[in-house]
Amino acid sequence: MPLGLRELHKSKAMSMRYRLSPIALVVALVLASCAAPAVRPPNPPLETRAISLMVFGEPAEKAAYEELIAAFHTAHPDIRVELIHIPSQRDYQRRLSADFAAGTPADLVLINYRRYANFAARGVLHPIGDYIAANSDLSLNDFYQPALAPFYWNNELMCMPQNLSSLVVYYNKDLFDQAGLAYPTNDWTWDDFLRTAQALTRDLDGDGQTDQHGLGTDPSLFRVAPFIWQNNGDLVNNPSNPTRLSLDDPQSRAAVAWFVELQTVHGVVPDAVAEQAENSESRFLTGRLAMFLNSRRGVPTYRTITTFDWDVAPLPQNLRRAGILHSDAYCMTTATQDKDAAWQFIAYAVSEAGQSLVAKSGRIVPSRKAVAESPAFLDPQTKPANSRIFIEHIEDIRAVPVMSTWVDIEEIVGKEIERAFYGQASVDEAIRTAITNSQEYFELAVR
Amino acid sequence: MSRTRHRSPTDWGWQLVAGGLALLFGLPLYWLFTSSLRPAGSPPPRTVEWFPHAATLTNYQRIFALAPFGHYLLNSLIVASLAVPLTLLTASLAGFAMARAPVPIQRSLLLFSVTLLLIPTAALWLPRYILFARLGLLDTWLPLLAPTLMGSNALYVLLFYWSFRRISPELFDAARLEGSSTFGLWWRIGMPLVRPTSLVVLILSFLAYWNDFLTPFLYLKSESRYLLPVGISLLHQMDTTQFPLLLAGAVIMTLPALVLFWAVQHTFWYEGRFSELAHTDEV
Amino acid sequence: MNRSLILMLIPYGCGALLLVLLPALLIFALAFTTYDGLAAPQWVGDQTFQDVRFDPVFPIAVHNTLIFVGVSLPLRVLLALGLALLLERRRRGVRFYRAAIYTPTVIPDVAYALIWLWILNPLYGPLTLALRAIGIDPPAWLVQPETALLTLVAVGLFQIGESFVVLLVGLHNIPLEYHEQAKLDGGGVWQRFRYITLPLLFPWLLLITVRDLLLLTQQSFVPAYLMTGGGPYYATTTLPMLIYAEAFDRLRFGHGAAMLLLQSLVIAVLVLVGVGLARLILWGRSV
């Protein structure tokens, strides 16, 4: 087999990367002799320990991580942390896959709980249970259980969650005031939600085009999921060991249809054309969209809003309350050479000091209870004023199934939901195709 | 053959059609420039706007503040300025050797080069990626520069081959008698005579490296090594609606290619006939 | 052959070997394995091809790719031919016009995609607004599944500079005497085009056709990736997009290689058929 591909199995970490086969050596020499100068950056001095951390997020979020790293450098001058920042989650996922496949992942990676299982299943993440057991300062009891739970893979804790958010409604208070509407309450219902959105959807100049929309949301499985749960439905047949999508269950179907009709029937959400012209989040930022569904992630960006006042409200409820878990965790990769340094950073990042820093940026709902209850998160001087709802509703939070092919399933189903949402297919057709097309990935899932 | 230049109605018609087409092909570029001057964040236009009302250059400043854009620019320039000379070197050497080789070898090399041309290298990114990954060369510029080894593109080698073949062998023989080495023949006799070809390969290879998105996108991991196309595509994903800002980035990326092309475009319109130039010893 | 000449050819030979021939062979090997980049590749025979056959997106991607290439190819060749004929002769300003035609070709792909995303913006784009101003209500080109792929084709039509230049060279290599003689014999413009220009230009047309055929499939990637992300609803998911997702989203390099192999085979067959036909026509005419 060419290039000793069979040996690649042993190529974890450094062993193989530096043991080049003879052909490879010739290749490397030829290439190097051709273009070596000025290509490789100088190596860092040997006495400093260096680790790399890869994160995703908007520029405002990146700043928070830079601050965290700066504080860590002060506390641990011997360890340098290099930040690798990828703006979009989608590219981030690809980048992670490519890096792992190449055997060159960052030492620490921030991964969402929906996306880590594929890597855990392939053994490229290093469990952190032993480090936690050895670290007397850190007790898992100090963290919210719903954030920790999804990161157990085969009963081992793989990653350390930094945050747990639910889906919430960001709303433009000025637009509510102009329309003479009361702000959302903590127990508003689907009907209240729809009526409010309708009242806020307006054609301001009378040209027959909607200039201001009541609501904005991604048309994705992840956004529709909490509504399905609120309607006593579910995404999959058996959440602990799913083998099939269950969107065709009447309760689930009804919730999907309700969600889709927000756009197709009620027109309170921008249609496909309007969304392509300018996406909902941008419309919200420029004050032309009243309510936007997002997790805590949006806060650093929304804090840059100067033209209107805004706040957060919990999701409306239906047959029951339900939120959806958004949680990202620091994971150590198996390839990491200085695992101790990597752990030092994780421990710092989830410590009170570390979480307080990132919490102040607005980016996270801290996974550490003490920080979530502290002014670092709840400071009434910073927006959103109603931050408390993030922790008040933690008990309603549910998580999507943790499985190695969940990313693929979400993508496939998302395309169908999007199609229905923009009126290009009926809800039933979309659900039917979603079930058919996703079935393969239930079977491919590594447990 | 003389072509008379009189202003006939068909001539005016021709000017009109050609001018119209030139305008049409220039329109995207015109919109690129003018839209990049719109103040970012100002309400989007609702009516045709041939020139933005409050035209401003601030986008060009802001984009450098928003991302390490200067860094990307520098990296792109470094990669291109390494790749282009290397390409000229390897392609001209190979083309020269081909042209000077004995006829049977020349034939098989020609066949080899045409075969290479027929393999769409752009479709080889998947195995190449695995190859470079196994060599531990990800996140370096080596995978980007590696194609220079083979003259970047078999086409460039062939261009040089054709050009060198047009040079009369007597010239080389004379130089050879004066004691010139083969490399000396290439450098002192061959290269000066194929300057137009070098110029064409220079611009084509510059454009190829400067414009390439997929290769740096696949191979580069650290922000400090990103090239412009990757940087801009990242900006695009961050914020899909700050278009004037993005377009300012697009202008910065487009300008060097445009300037270089317009500076040497005259070499593209070679109107001579191969039959008049090609020297007679047919392969 | 002297040693210096061999030395001069070494980089070219090595490079071609390492960067083209070896990867091409690697595709063959990988296509019959499952390989996720982490564990060793596992030989699975034609299992990957069986899986690809049942992938619901694969036929869509093949269909889209064929449409993209099938519509682009004739349009691009015809457009390049028309422009080359128009701008062949020396006239006042002809070099400027030629350069203007070539200009979109030098714009980097990423910038080019961004420009068009803005121009085609369904509410605020300059093209949309310009059409509205003259009373045409344009469809939302990139949003509607029926028009999205064709829009990408249309956008690509502006980047035909290379074919254009090749055809100009071809036209300039037609001996003027042929035209003079035909004129003396009373041949009209159309007849001269039909019986002199076209046959003599035929090899050049064949060259750009084969070239486009080889490159177009892959060229669909950047615009689709940056402008539509393969959507709306798979409408612009072409084979390179699918292969990319298969390799990097799902870490199924073996399946990606299998698709790549199928793609290459189809292209190879098309090129062979095209060249075969062309030879038939050429030989039937010129001998």
The H or E element that residue B160 is part of is helix B154-165
Q: What pLDDT score was predicted for residue A370?
A: 93
User: What CA–CA distances, in Å, run from B15 to A89, A132, B4, B22?
Assistant: 51, 78, 16, 10
Cβ-in-10-Å burial (0-12, 13-18, 19+) of C277 comes to exposed
Q: Using an 8 Å Cβ cutoff, are A100 and A122 in contact?
A: yes
User: What CA–CA distances, in Å, run from A157 to A2, A405, A447, C24, C196?
Assistant: 38, 19, 15, 42, 77
For chain B, which chains pass the contact test of at least 3 CB pairs under 8 Å?
A: A, C
- Joined tokens for residue C71: 């519509």
Cβ-in-10-Å burial (0-12, 13-18, 19+) of B276 comes to exposed
Residue C7 lies in a domain: no
What CATH number does the domain containing C63 carry? 1.10.3720.10
Query: Are A213 and A301 in the same domain?
Result: yes
- Which residues of chain C have a CB within 8 Å of the CB of A117? none
Low-confidence ranges of chain C (pLDDT < 50): 286-287
Residue B118 lies in a domain: yes
Q: What pLDDT score was predicted for residue A245?
A: 95
| Number of domains, chain B | 1
User: What CA–CA distances, in Å, run from C175 to A59, A402, B275, C169, C287?
Assistant: 62, 72, 9, 12, 19
Give the whole-angstrom CA distance, residue C11 versus residue C15: 6
Residue C18 lies in a domain: no
Q: What band does A1 get if pLDDT is binned at 50, 70 and 90?
A: very low
* The length of chain B, given as a count of residues: 283
Residue B250 lies in a domain: yes
What CATH number does the domain containing B208 carry? 1.10.3720.10
DSSP bridge partners of A49: A79
Q: What pLDDT score was predicted for residue A40?
A: 42
Give the whole-angstrom CA distance, residue A72 versus residue A307: 35
Q: Which amino acid is at C125?
A: G
| Min distance A50 CA to chain C CA atoms (Å) | 24
What CATH number does the domain containing A297 carry? 3.40.190.10
Q: Using an 8 Å Cβ cutoff, are C122 and C228 in contact?
A: no
Query: Are A291 and A175 in the same domain?
Result: yes
Residue A103 lies in a domain: yes
Beta pairing class for A79-86 and A49-56: parallel
Q: What band does B272 get if pLDDT is binned at 50, 70 and 90?
A: low
Residue B177 lies in a domain: yes
Q: What pLDDT score was predicted for residue A12?
A: 33
The residue of chain C with its CA nearest to that of A23 is: C18
- Which residues of chain C have a CB within 8 Å of the CB of A34? 11
Q: Using an 8 Å Cβ cutoff, are A228 and A255 in contact?
A: yes
Q: For residue A291, which of A170, A166, A168, A421 has the smallest C-alpha distance?
A: A170
DSSP bridge partners of A289: A213
**DSSP assignment of C227-287:** IITT-STTTT--HHHHHHIIIIIS--HHHHHHHHHHHHHHHHHHHHHHHHHHHHHHHHHH-
**DSSP assignment of A203-249:** -SSSSSS--BEEEE---SHHHHHHHHHHTT--SBS-TTS--SB-TTS
Q: What pLDDT score was predicted for residue A20?
A: 37
- Which residues of chain C have a CB within 8 Å of the CB of B258? 103, 106-107
Q: Using an 8 Å Cβ cutoff, are A125 and A116 in contact?
A: yes
Query: Are A161 and A176 in the same domain?
Result: no
Chain B: residues touching A (Cβ < 8 Å):
41, 43-44, 66, 78, 82, 86, 129, 131, 133-142, 145-146, 148-149, 218, 221-224, 234-235, 237-241
Chain B 242-261, CB below 8 Å of chain C: which residues? 243, 246-247, 249-251, 253-254, 257-258, 261
Query: Are A414 and A363 in the same domain?
Result: no
Residue B74 lies in a domain: yes
- Joined tokens for residue A231: 């309607």
Q: What pLDDT score was predicted for residue A59?
A: 74
Q: What pLDDT score was predicted for residue A14?
A: 32
Bond preceding residue C56 cis, omega within 30 of 0: no
Kindly report, residue by residue over A359-384, the tens digit of the pLDDT: 988 889 999 999 999 998 998 888 89
Q: What band does A27 get if pLDDT is binned at 50, 70 and 90?
A: very low
By the CB < 8 Å criterion, does A133 face chain C?
no
* Helix-strand-coil split of chain C, %, nearest 5: 75, 0, 25
**DSSP assignment of C28-67:** HHHHTEE--SSSPPEE-TTHHHHHHHH-THHHHHHHHHHH
Q: Using an 8 Å Cβ cutoff, are A323 and A307 in contact?
A: no
Relative orientation angle of helices C109-119 and B9-35, to the nearest 10 degrees? 90
Residue A193 lies in a domain: yes
Highest mean pLDDT among A214-228, A371-385, B5-19: A214-228
Q: CB distance A100–C37 less than 8 Å?
A: yes
Residue C54 lies in a domain: yes
Q: Of the ranges A432-441, B218-227, C154-163, which one carries the lowest mean pLDDT score?
A: B218-227
| Number of domains, chain C | 1
Give the whole-angstrom CA distance, residue B127 versus residue C37: 11
Q: What band does A7 get if pLDDT is binned at 50, 70 and 90?
A: very low
Q: CB distance B86–A34 less than 8 Å?
A: yes
Give the whole-angstrom CA distance, residue A37 versus residue B71: 19
Asked whether residue B1 carries a pLDDT value surpassing 60, the answer given is no
Asked whether residue A29 carries a pLDDT value surpassing 50, the answer given is no
Q: What pLDDT score was predicted for residue C77?
A: 94
Determine the structural domain holding residue A202 and report its residue range.
Answer: 168-325+400-444
Which of B11, B90, B261 is closest, CB to CB, to C106?
Answer: B261
Determine the structural domain holding residue B118 and report its residue range.
Answer: 59-269
Bond preceding residue C232 cis, omega within 30 of 0: yes
Q: Of the ranges A261-265, A340-344, C3-7, which one carries the lowest mean pLDDT score?
A: C3-7
Query: Are A314 and A334 in the same domain?
Result: no
Give the whole-angstrom CA distance, residue A413 versus residue B196: 56
Give the whole-angstrom CA distance, residue A32 versus residue A39: 9
Relative orientation angle of helices C198-219 and C57-86, to the nearest 10 degrees? 140
The H or E element that residue C8 is part of is helix C3-16
Q: What band does A328 get if pLDDT is binned at 50, 70 and 90?
A: very high
Q: Using an 8 Å Cβ cutoff, are B98 and B110 in contact?
A: yes
Give the whole-angstrom CA distance, residue C267 versus residue C260: 11
Kindly report, residue by residue over A282-294, the tens digit of the pLDDT: 899 989 999 999 9
Q: What band does B273 get if pLDDT is binned at 50, 70 and 90?
A: low
Which of A5, A24, A282 is closest, CB to CB, to B135?
Answer: A24
Residue C31 lies in a domain: no
State chain A's mean pLDDT as an integer: 86
Query: Are A425 and A299 in the same domain?
Result: yes
Q: What pLDDT score was predicted for residue A41?
A: 45
| DSSP state at residue B190 | I
Give the whole-angstrom CA distance, residue C230 versus residue C232: 7
- Which residues of chain B have a CB within 8 Å of the CB of A86? 234
Task: Respond yes or no on whether ipTM tops 0.95.
Answer: no
User: CA torsion angle for A356, A361, A364, A367 (degrees, to 10)?
Assistant: 0
Residue C265 lies in a domain: yes
Residue C108 lies in a domain: yes
* Better-predicted residue by pLDDT, A220 or A102: A220
Backbone angles phi, psi at B54, to 5 degrees: -105, 60
Asked whether residue A313 carries a pLDDT value surpassing 80, the answer given is yes
User: CA torsion angle for B47, B52, B58, B61 (degrees, to 10)?
Assistant: 90
Q: Using an 8 Å Cβ cutoff, are A244 and A435 in contact?
A: yes
Mean pLDDT, rounded, for A435-447: 89
DSSP bridge partners of A410: none
Q: What band does B241 get if pLDDT is binned at 50, 70 and 90?
A: low
Give the whole-angstrom CA distance, residue A383 versus residue A378: 9
Beta pairing class for C33-34 and C42-43: antiparallel
Determine the structural domain holding residue C260 and report its residue range.
Answer: 45-286
Q: Using an 8 Å Cβ cutoff, are C73 and C216 in contact?
A: yes
Give the whole-angstrom CA distance, residue A80 versus residue A51: 6
- Which residues of chain A have a CB within 8 Å of the CB of C24? none
Asked whether residue B278 carries a pLDDT value surpassing 50, the answer given is no
Which of B146, B210, B214 is closest, CB to CB, to C19?
Answer: B146
Residue C61 lies in a domain: yes
Instruction: Match 């609120």 to its residue by tokens.
Output: A230
Kindly report, residue by residue over B54-109, the tens digit of the pLDDT: 778 888 888 888 778 889 999 999 999 999 999 999 999 999 999 999 999 999 99
Q: CB distance C1–B150 less than 8 Å?
A: no
Backbone angles phi, psi at B166, to 5 degrees: -75, -15
Residue A2 lies in a domain: no
Residue A13 lies in a domain: no
Mean pLDDT, rounded, for A165-182: 95
Q: What pLDDT score was predicted for residue B40?
A: 74
Kindly report, residue by residue over A65-116, the tens digit of the pLDDT: 999 999 999 999 999 999 988 877 777 887 888 788 777 789 999 999 999 9
What value does the CA radius of gyration of chain C take, rounded to a whole number of Å? 23
| DSSP state at residue C136 | -
Asked whether residue B283 carries a pLDDT value surpassing 60, the answer given is no
Q: What pLDDT score was predicted for residue B51?
A: 80
For chain A, which chains pass the contact test of at least 3 CB pairs under 8 Å?
A: B, C
Mean pLDDT, rounded, for B186-203: 90
**Percent of chain A, pLDDT > 90?**
66
Q: What band does A39 get if pLDDT is binned at 50, 70 and 90?
A: very low
Mean pLDDT, rounded, for B235-261: 84
B130 CB contacts (<8 Å, ≥6 apart)?
C26, C30, C37, C253
Residue A187 lies in a domain: yes
Q: For residue A2, which of A18, A22, A19 has the smallest C-alpha distance?
A: A22
Chain B 18-77, CB below 8 Å of chain C: which residues? 18-19, 21-23, 25-26, 28-29, 31-32, 35, 44-49
- Domain end: A338, A357, A387, which one? A387
Q: Of the ranges A153-162, B36-45, C173-182, which one carries the lowest mean pLDDT score?
A: B36-45
Q: Which amino acid is at A220?
A: S
Query: Are A411 and A440 in the same domain?
Result: yes
| Number of domains, chain A | 2
DSSP bridge partners of A53: A83, A108
Residue C38 lies in a domain: no
Asked whether residue A434 carries a pLDDT value surpassing 90, the answer given is yes
Q: For residue A90, which of B224, B234, C218 has the smallest C-alpha distance?
A: B234
Mean pLDDT, rounded, for A383-408: 91
Which of B66, B129, B241 is closest, CB to CB, to A59?
Answer: B66
Q: In what order do the strands lie in the sheet with A168-172?
A: A213-216, A289-294, A168-172, A310-314
| DSSP state at residue A309 | -
Q: What pLDDT score was predicted for residue B3?
A: 47
